[in-house]
Structures are given as structure tokens and as C-alpha cells.
């Protein structure tokens, strides 16, 4: 029997700027077990609900994550609106859907770039981020921020976007679609890329469900679960299909995200085509009283917010279960028995966001 050694992975690792630490128990080049530990960047954001009033907490919720910031704000606002029984105008819902899908696009392009970087394909990484840059410019032009949109508020949105600007966004996305197809084609067909990802880190359908995987990690194993099908915001008026793969390996998780890029572009097109007019916010009166579980599909998977209010301006309890937290158990499972060289690629395929996880 070979000697067992423990190799530390992270919290500072070239492939992952996020501070997660894995103790990899290896025999020769084979990982026998991975023991994760988190807790390097806990910021105590959930506790802040006792200090900030429920309207101002939107700013905090948005800053839980640096990539899916908008959807965090949206999840929080939807929860409060549900407790207060606010009727959010359709235009605000449509704008939230557009911004939500734009953040999904930029998150997936960012991830594809990081993935290319993880297996050493530098030029592909640059091209993914070049495309993302165009999108970030459009996000900045409509919301005022590149990653922290700051455009969602309880009762609607803080800004409106003119119909001319929406048409321009659709035009830009139309132009981008072919470029994205060219670039993502490399992930789909290049033999060197496939060599690194096909058949690596397989999670079966049963394992994914039992371990509570969410988002692309779950859908790549053949489970069609997408919170957007709940029909929040504008999704009840949109025709879209949940994207799944059955292989459950790294390549499948990559392909799910690539197909979601095109699905998101199509969703934005559909929303702009049936854009309702009118106001973008309603007046918020009084304080919330009650509790609600708010569930929204983020780029990384389902996020769950538990909000409990007691009729004062401060919430009583707030809890966020982020997608990466749910995906850590599948990651530990897929690392068992893999090659040491494949660990960075596998760790990336769950799209880990540790800042989210630790809040």
C-alpha cells in the first residue's frame, strides 16, 4: 500500500481566488478523500438585519456576492414584497428579469474564462472575458454599476430603461451570439479541452439528488430543476426550456452553462418583445410582518432566503442558503478517487463562490 500524504489546497491557490481550503488525502497521485474547511471570510451579514432597516438592507443583500449581486438583491426584495403583499408593476418585473439574465450571462462568461484558465488555455480565457466586457458596458449604461447593479429596491426598481436602450441591448446581444458560438465551440469540440473534462468528476443523478446539488451541477447530472420555472418576476410569460445533460461529468457541467448563455439571450429577447409600460415602482408603506422563503435561480443554482419580520423596521431573522454551499457536498464526493492534477478543474466546475457561502 502506498503512503498516504495530506496535500493542502487553498485557501490561496492560483486557480481559485476564493478562500476555500481542502485537505487532500492522497495515495501517490490519487486523491482518496477531500476534507473541506471554510470560514476565512465570514462577514456576519445576516446579523446586520438587526441594525439596518429592511429597505436599506437591500444594499447589504446585493453585496453578499460580487457576481450574482443583482439576483441577491432581487431575491431579498421579492421576499419582502411577498410578506408585505406589494403589487410590483409588470415593467419592474420585466426589468428585473432582463438584468437577472444579463448577470447570468456575465457570470457564465466569467466562469468559462476561469475554466479555460484552469486547464491552461490562456487565449480562450481572454476571449471569454473580452465578450463579457461588452456585456458589462451595457450593464453599466443601464444600471450605473458594472457588478454591483444597485438597481433593485423593495417595491420595484430604482431606475427605468428606455425602450430605445432595450432595443439596442437586443441588437448588441444578437451580434454577440455568433461570437459566443465561435468561442464556446472550442469548449464543445476541442480535443485537448475534452481530454481534461470528459469523464472527469462524474456525479450520477442519484448522487446529485442525494447530496443536494443545485444549478448547473444538478442539471448536468440529468435532473431538470430550475427555479425559474416557478414563474417569479416575468418568467411566467416566458417560454424557455430547462437545459440538462445526462453525463454528469465536468464537460456536461460546462455544456449546460454554455447552452444557458444562449437560453438567457433568448429570454432577454422575449422580455423586450413583450415589454410592458407604466411605472417601475410602488410606494412602500408600513413594516413587514410575517415570514417567507424566497427561492430564485442564480447563475450558480438555487438561492434560498429565509426572511422573518415582526412588524418593526428591522427584520427579526434573515438566513441565506447560497448555491455554492449546497454544491460543496457534491464537490467532496467527486474529488474522491480523482487524480491530483484534476482537482483544480473539478473544484471550478461547481463554480464556487465562497464569499457567498460564508456571507
Rule CB under 8 A: is residue 221 a binding residue for other proteins?
A: no
State the minimum distance, in angstroms, from the CB of residue 117 to other proteins.
15
Q: Which of 38, 109, 107, 42 is nearest to 69 (CA)?
A: 107
Tell me how far apart the alpha carbons of residues 72 and 62 are, in angstroms, rounded to a whole number. Answer: 5
Residues pairing with 291 in the sheet: 308
Q: Which is nearer to other proteins, 28 or 137 (CB)?
A: 137
Rule CB under 8 A: is residue 212 a binding residue for other proteins?
A: no
Mapped onto helix, strand or coil, the DSSP state of residue 353 is coil
Tell me how far apart the alpha carbons of residues 196 and 332 are, in angstroms, rounded to a whole number. Answer: 19
Q: Which is nearer to other proteins, 9 or 129 (CB)?
A: 129
Rule CB under 8 A: is residue 50 a binding residue for other proteins?
A: no
CB atoms within 10 A of CB 214: 28
Of the candidates 106, 127, 132, 253, which one interacts with other proteins according to CB under 8 A?
Answer: 127
Q: Give the Cα-Cα-Cα angle 175, 176, 180 (nearest 5 degrees).
A: 140
Rule CB under 8 A: is residue 141 a binding residue for other proteins?
A: yes
Cα distances (Å, whole numbers) of residue 61 to 115, 154, 217, 232? 27, 12, 24, 18
Rule CB under 8 A: is residue 191 a binding residue for other proteins?
A: yes
Rule CB under 8 A: is residue 158 a binding residue for other proteins?
A: yes
Of the candidates 186, 202, 329, 340, which one interacts with other proteins according to CB under 8 A?
Answer: 186
Of the candidates 182, 199, 224, 337, which one interacts with other proteins according to CB under 8 A?
Answer: 182
E strand or H helix that includes residue 6: strand 4-9
Rule CB under 8 A: is residue 194 a binding residue for other proteins?
A: yes
- Chain positions contacting other proteins, by CB under 8 A: 52, 56, 59-60, 63, 123-124, 127, 130, 133, 137, 140-145, 148, 150, 158-159, 182-183, 185-186, 189-191, 194
Amino acid at each position: 500500500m502506498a503512503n498516504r500524504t495530506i496535500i493542502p489546497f487553498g485557501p490561496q491557490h492560483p486557480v481559485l481566488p476564493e478562500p476555500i481550503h481542502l485537505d487532500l488525502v492522497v495515495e501517490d497521485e490519487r486523491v482518496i478523500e477531500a476534507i473541506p474547511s471554510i470560514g476565512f471570510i465570514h462577514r456576519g451579514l445576516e446579523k446586520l438585519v438587526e441594525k439596518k432597516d429592511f429597505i436599506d438592507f437591500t444594499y447589504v443583500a446585493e453585496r453578499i456576492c460580487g457576481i450574482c449581486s443583482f439576483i441577491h438583491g432581487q431575491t431579498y426584495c421579492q421576499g419582502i414584497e411577498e410578506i408585505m403583499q406589494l403589487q410590483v408593476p409588470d415593467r419592474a418585473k420585466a426589468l428585473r428579469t432582463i438584468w437577472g439574465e444579463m448577470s447570468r450571462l456575465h457570470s457564465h462568461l466569467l466562469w468559462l474564462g476561469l475554466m479555460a484558465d484552469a486547464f491552461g488555455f490562456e487565449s480562450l480565457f481572454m476571449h471569454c472575458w473580452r465578450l463579457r466586457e461588452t456585456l458589462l458596458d451595457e450593464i453599466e449604461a443601464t444600471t450605473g454599476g458594472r457588478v454591483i447593479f444597485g438597481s433593485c429596491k423593495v417595491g420595484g426598481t430604482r431606475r427605468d430603461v428606455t425602450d430605445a436602450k432595450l432595443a439596442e441591448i437586443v441588437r448588441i446581444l444578437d451580434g454577440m451570439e455568433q461570437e459566443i458560438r465561435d468561442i464556446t465551440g472550442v469548449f464543445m469540440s476541442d480535443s485537448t479541452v475534452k481530454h481534461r473534462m470528459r469523464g472527469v468528476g462524474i456525479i450520477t443523478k442519484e448522487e446529485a439528488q442525494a447530496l443536494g446539488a443545485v444549478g448547473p451541477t444538478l442539471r448536468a447530472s440529468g435532473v431538470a430543476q430550475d427555479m425559474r420555472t416557478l414563474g417569479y418576476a416575468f418568467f411566467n410569460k416566458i417560454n424557455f426550456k430547462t437545459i440538462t445533460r445526462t453525463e454528469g461529468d465536468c464537460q456536461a457541467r460546462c455544456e449546460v452553462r454554455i447552452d444557458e448563455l444562449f437560453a438567457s439571450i433568448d429570454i432577454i429577447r422575449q422580455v423586450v418583445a413583450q415589454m410592458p409600460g407604466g411605472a417601475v415602482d410602488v410606494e412602500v408603506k408600513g413594516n413587514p410582518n410575517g415570514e417567507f422563503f424566497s427561492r430564485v435561480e442564480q447563475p450558480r443554482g438555487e438561492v434560498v432566503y429565509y426572511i422573518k419580520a415582526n412588524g418593526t423596521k428591522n427584520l427579526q431573522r434573515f438566513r441565506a442558503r447560497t448555491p455554492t454551499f449546497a454544491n460543496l457536498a457534491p464537490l467532496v464526493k467527486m474529488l474522491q478517487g480523482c487524480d491530483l492534477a484534476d482537482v483544480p478543474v473539478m473544484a471550478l466546475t461547481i463554480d464556487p463562490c465562497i464569499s457567498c457561502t460564508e456571507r
